[in-house]
Every structure is written in C-alpha cells, then in structure tokens.
C-alpha cells in the first residue's frame, strides 16, 4: 500500500506561517513532499522562515484583506490544501473589550478563514481532491474566563468547519479543524509564560505540555489521503485535556 501520509505533489498554502504552529506546519509539509506557500503579516518572520527553509514561497499578507489574500494565492498558482492558521491570540476581561478588538479578531479569524476557503476554490483543480484545515481551540467549546472574543472566534471556526464540510464535500473538498491546547508558541507565551503551561500540564491526562510537532503531525494527517474519509471533524491535540475537563 502506498504511503497515504505522503504529500508529494500537493500544493499547500499556510497562513500565519511566520512563526509558531504555522512555521512548524510549513516545515512538516515540505518534509512530506508538498510545495508550500507561507503567508504572514510579519515580513521579518517570513524572511527568517525563508532563510531556514529556502524551498518555501512567501508572501506578506494580512489575511483579513480579501483582495491581497486572493492575489497571493493566485500568484502561487494551483492549490490543493489551505491551512487557515493565522490568528491574534489575545485575552481581555469583558470590560476591556472594545470595537477595535472585536473587529480585528473577527477579521483575522473569521474573514481570514473564509478568504482561505475562497482562495482554495479559486485555485484548485476540480479533478483533484482538496482539503481545508482550520484552527479551532478547546476555548471555543467550554468556558474560560477572560477569553470572550478569542473563544467566540474559535467557536465560530468550529461552526464554519462543519458548515463548509457540508457545503464543499460534494465538490471533493474535505474541511476539518485542529483544536490544540497548551503549545507554548511565541503567541501563546506572550500571554501565558511557559512555566505556567508546565505547571498546568500536571492536570492534563498526558501530564505534559504540547509541542509544535504534536500539532504538525495531526495537521499533516488531516491534509493527507490517510484522512480521505474524514470531514467536518475537530481533532483535539490537547493531551486529553478536553476529554477530561
Ligand atoms: N498555541 C496553542 O496552544 C494554541 C491553542 C489553540 C489554538 N491555537 C491556534 O493556532 C494558531 C497558531 O497559533 P500560534 O500559537 O502559533 O500563534 P502565534 O501568535 O505564535 O503565531 C500566529 C502567526 O499569525 C500571524 N498573523 C497574525 N495576524 C495575522 C494577519 N492578520 N495576517 C496574517 N498573519 C497574521 C502572526 O504574525 C504569527 O506569525 C492560531 O489560530 C491559534 O489560535 C494555538
């Protein structure tokens, strides 16, 4: 049996790819044989990524900007997979939430994921299987004090994932989401220090924090033919946290 996890010949666009989980997805997809386009709003992060992984195509794009997103996807060419990973991780107590925070987080999380789906539709070859992977979170599924906007966006991404799985499945497009937890990326540790993640991890069934590789292997699985009958799923990469909380 052929290696169904192989991504040779697949063309994958990944947003928020300059650092954290996004850059790990880029490295993993390249290692699995894919051609990869990395989009990020942070030009310096993309330049560092390109230096580390010269095979990657990069484009400085704010994912909330539909025109810029679709233009970058068109410049890359045919697409088989999109990972809608970009997000601004920020937590505010409810009194501190204002219009600007809501507008920005909805624009990155919701608009960005919808523009990602549109980019795939515009650039795919209808004769080839295709896949979209969104980034949800356990915060979108239960109550975590002080995270209202972030959690609402992540809950909406869960809904978007199921809706698009229903809508696009007949066209041969699978749509799934990852729900990671406690992976100390730059964005996550800007809010919660790594030591705090380590401290909390004793309550996780697997008794450790997550690593970027944990999310990457799950992401590559969901993009690959090994997951060819899986759509509309939210795969938790959280050390058993959601199952036990
Ligand atoms: N780290 C975790 O434990 C965890 C848990 C649950 C969900 N997630 C989700 O995983 C994804 C990646 O998170 P991370 O931890 O790697 O975060 P991160 O902050 O380290 O990386 C996010 C990347 O997105 C980019 N970005 C932000 N706004 C953008 C925009 N408008 N356009 C383009 N790029 C933009 C940033 O520049 C950055 O490179 C996010 O969707 C996050 O919500 C992470």
Q: What is the pLDDT of residues 21-39, one digit of tens each?
A: 999 999 999 999 999 999 9
How many A from CA of 16 to the centre of ligand 1?
6
- Residue 1 above 70 pLDDT? no
How far is C-alpha 181 from the geometric centre of its chain's CA atoms? 13
Q: How many CA atoms lie within 13 A of 203 on its CB side?
A: 11
The per-residue pLDDT for 15 is 99
- Pairwise CA distance, residues 162 & 146, whole Å: 26
Distance between Cα 219 and ligand 1 center (Å): 15
Question: Tens digits of per-residue pLDDT, 195-207?
Answer: 999 999 999 999 9
Mean pLDDT score across all residues of the chain? 97
Q: Which residues are catalytic?
A: 150, 154
Q: What angle do CA 242, 243, 245 make, to 5 degrees?
A: 60
Per-residue DSSP letter, 243: H
Is residue 161 in contact with ligand 1, taking CB distance under 6 Å?
Answer: no
What is the CATH T-level fold of the domain 11-244, as seen in this structure? Rossmann fold (3.40.50)
| pTM for this prediction | 0.99
Distance 126 CA to ligand 1 centre (A): 30
Q: Is the pLDDT of residue 127 over 80?
A: yes
Ligand 1 in reach of 192 Cβ (< 6 A): no
pLDDT band at residue 2, thresholds of 50, 70 and 90? confident
Does any ligand 1 atom lie closer than 6 A to the CB of residue 120?
no
Find out whether the beta carbon of 216 lies less than 6 Å from any atom of ligand 1: no
Atom of ligand 1 nearest to the CA of 182: 3
CA gap 37, 12 in Å, rounded: 6
Q: How confident is the model at residue 245 (pLDDT cuts 50, 70, 90)?
A: confident
Q: What is the per-residue DSSP string for 5-44?
A: T--TT-EEEEESTTSHHHHHHHHHHHHTT-EEEEEES-HH
What is the C-alpha separation between 115 and 69, in angstroms, rounded? 7
Q: 48 CA distance to ligand 1 centroid (A)? A: 17
């Amino acid at each position: 049996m052929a290696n169904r996890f192989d991504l040779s010949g697949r063309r994958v666009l990944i947003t928020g790819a300059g650092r954290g989980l996004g850059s790990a997805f880029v490295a993993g997809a390249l290692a699995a044989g894919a051609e990869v386009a990395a989009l990020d709003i942070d030009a310096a992060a993309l330049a560092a990524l390109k230096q580390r992984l010269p095979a990657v195509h990069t484009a400085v794009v704010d994912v909330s900007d539909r025109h810029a997103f679709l233009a970058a996807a068109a410049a890359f060419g045919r697409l088989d997979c999109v990972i809608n990973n970009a997000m601004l991780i920020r937590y505010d107590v409810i009194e501190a939430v204002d219009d600007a925070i809501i507008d920005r987080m909805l624009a990155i999380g919701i608009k960005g994921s919808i523009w990602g789906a549109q980019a795939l539709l515009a650039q795919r070859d209808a004769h080839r299987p295709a896949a979209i992977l969104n980034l949800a979170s356990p915060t979108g599924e239960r109550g975590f004090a002080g995270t209202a906007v972030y959690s609402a966006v992540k809950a909406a991404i869960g809904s978007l994932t199921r809706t698009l799985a229903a809508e696009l499945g007949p066209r041969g497009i699978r749509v799934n989401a990852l729900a990671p937890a406690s992976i100390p990326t730059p964005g996550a540790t800007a809010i919660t220090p790594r030591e705090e993640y380590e401290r909390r991890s004793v309550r996780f069934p697997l008794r450790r924090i997550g690593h970027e590789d944990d999310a990457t292997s799950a992401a590559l699985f969901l993009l690959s033919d090994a997951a060819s009958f899986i759509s509309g799923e939210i795969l938790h990469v959280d050390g058993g946290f959601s199952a036990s909380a």
